[in-house]
């Protein structure tokens, strides 16, 4: 079985493009997760210095430098002199000549083609296994055990195992991140914050750490710190030139927390920057609409729901959300016109019918409200909120109106008067 530490090793493969997939298939059974490739030998030299790989694999068929020549160049530079090498050549070169020349280097091995996966595995294990730090291997074993405990719901034991692993190998940023997430779930926020900061100390480019801290500060309801850490993540994303969609999503999160702080101008600015970065995303416009609606800013949510529907007219649930925004502003006619359009595409959506009933009810047209509620219940007889609203309406209808519905009694259905479920529907 390959050492556990192999999964975090950086492997640099220098081979022609047409053969890279073949060699990748030979390397992945060893558990390597981070295999970088290049087909340019000059680039391979610079990548060795930049990446400091735990294993360099090079073929004989590069344009200028062959594998052995790359090995020679690496050994002359103190930064790359200790990088283990595997050179892939032809079978006839294994015995005598080139193969023996490579094998004289104690940190290099030669594999002659054709070779199978088992031969490659044996050769690499023979080269790397003696170099594996047993303390680090034990640390990885503890992280695997911690993960199993976490999957079984034993968070406290998992946290303790992650701590033991870090006592052995504190440079593992991923372990700090996992510990931080568990501590946050356990409500140990101060310790979780320290763990996230330790992860950033090991890897200053970890977006997971930044977003983890943002979530932690949100749980503590410290929204100023949340905005601050998200702005740091935004700055990092811009420096690293990550995708415009990713930058847009961070801007959205900043805007959402600006809203929680009731800083409308800051929220609008961040939302506008998010839209600029991802202008064709109906999901983004819906999310911005939700953010405004959740805080009661229905006029602002309205324009974003309308934009989402314009981008994707098939979003039935956004029609519902926009209708709610209209209703909350007492724009009942606009809500009903919108619902009429939605019914063309979704004639049997009980939730849509329910919201139509709500619009009529709030516009004091109780008879029409009851009509749509009964239609919704024909489609979904167990629709709890609709049944609760029927019960509420019956207490408000005039006797002449109520006579119309006496012929359609509902089966007994328990209503918890304390929860007033009908008031909590989709808003």
Question: Which residues sit opposite 59 in a β-bridge?
Answer: 88
Cα gap 412→382, rounded to integer Å: 11
pLDDT higher than threshold 80 for residue 327: yes
CB 89 within 8 A of CB 62: no
Tell me the pLDDT band of 398, cut-offs 50, 70 and 90. Answer: low
Parallel, antiparallel, or unpaired for β 10-14 and 55-59?
Answer: parallel
Which of these three, 105, 132, 159, is where a domain ends? 132
Domain assignment present for 402 = yes
Tell me the pLDDT band of 391, cut-offs 50, 70 and 90. Answer: confident
Q: Which residues make Cβ contacts (< 8 Å) with residue 353, sequence separation at least 6?
A: 372, 373, 375, 376, 379
Which of these three, 132, 167, 187, is where a domain ends? 132
Which of these three, 85, 111, 132, is where a domain ends? 132
Centre a 10 Å sphere on the Cβ of residue 42 and count the other Cβ atoms it contains: 12
Cα gap 37→265, rounded to integer Å: 47
pTM: 0.74
CB 36 within 8 A of CB 51: yes
CB 327 within 8 A of CB 362: yes
Domain assignment present for 180 = no
Cα gap 289→301, rounded to integer Å: 4
Cα gap 163→44, rounded to integer Å: 37
State pLDDT tens for residues 162-217.
Answer: 999 999 999 999 999 999 999 999 999 999 999 999 999 999 999 999 999 999 99
Domain assignment present for 106 = yes
Q: How many distinct structural domains can be found in the chain?
A: 2
Q: Residue 388: which CATH number?
A: 1.25.40
């Amino acid at each position: 079985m390959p050492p556990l530490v192999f999964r975090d090793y950086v492997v640099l493969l220098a081979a022609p493009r047409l053969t890279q997939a073949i060699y990748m298939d030979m390397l992945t059974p060893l558990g390597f997760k981070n295999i970088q490739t290049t087909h340019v030998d000059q680039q391979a030299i610079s990548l060795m210095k930049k990446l400091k790989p735990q294993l360099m694999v090079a073929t004989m068929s590069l344009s200028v430098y062959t594998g052995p020549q790359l090995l020679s160049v690496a050994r002359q530079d103190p930064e790359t002199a200790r990088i283990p090498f595997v050179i892939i050549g032809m079978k006839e070169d294994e015995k005598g000549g080139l193969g023996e020349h490579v094998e004289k280097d104690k940190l290099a091995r030669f594999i002659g083609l054709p070779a199978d996966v088992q031969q490659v595995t044996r050769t690499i294990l023979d080269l790397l296994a003696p170099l594996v730090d047993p303390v680090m291997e034990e640390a990885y074993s503890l992280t695997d055990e911690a993960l199993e405990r976490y999957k079984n719901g034993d968070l406290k034991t998992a946290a303790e195992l992650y701590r033991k692993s870090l006592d052995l190998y504190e440079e593992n940023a991923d372990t700090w991140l996992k510990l931080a997430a568990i501590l946050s779930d356990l409500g140990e926020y101060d310790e979780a914050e320290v763990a996230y900061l330790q992860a950033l100390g090991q890897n200053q480019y970890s977006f997971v750490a930044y977003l983890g801290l943002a979530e932690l500060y949100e749980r503590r309801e410290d929204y100023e710190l949340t905005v601050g850490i998200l702005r740091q993540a935004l700055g990092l994303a811009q420096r690293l030139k990550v995708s415009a969609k990713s930058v847009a999503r961070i801007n959205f999160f900043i805007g959402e927390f600006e809203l929680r702080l009731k800083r409308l101008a800051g929220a609008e600015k961040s939302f506008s920057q998010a839209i600029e970065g991802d202008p064709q995303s109906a999901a983004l416009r819906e999310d911005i609409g939700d953010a405004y609606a959740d805080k009661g800013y229905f006029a602002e949510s309205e324009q974003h729901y309308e934009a989402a529907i314009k981008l994707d007219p098939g979003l039935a649930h956004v029609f519902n959300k926009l209708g709610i925004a209209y209703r909350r502003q007492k724009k009942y006619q606009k809500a009903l016109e919108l619902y009429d359009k939605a019914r063309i595409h979704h004639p049997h959506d009980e939730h849509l019918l329910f919201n139509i009933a709500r619009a009529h009810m709030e516009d004091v047209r109780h008879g029409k409200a009851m009509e749509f509620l009964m239609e919704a219940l024909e489609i979904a007889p167990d629709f709890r909120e609709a049944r609760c609203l029927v019960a509420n309406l019956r207490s408000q209808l005039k006797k002449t109106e109520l006579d119309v519905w006496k012929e359609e009694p509902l089966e007994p259905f328990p209503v918890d008067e304390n929860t007033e479920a009908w008031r909590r529907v989709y808003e």
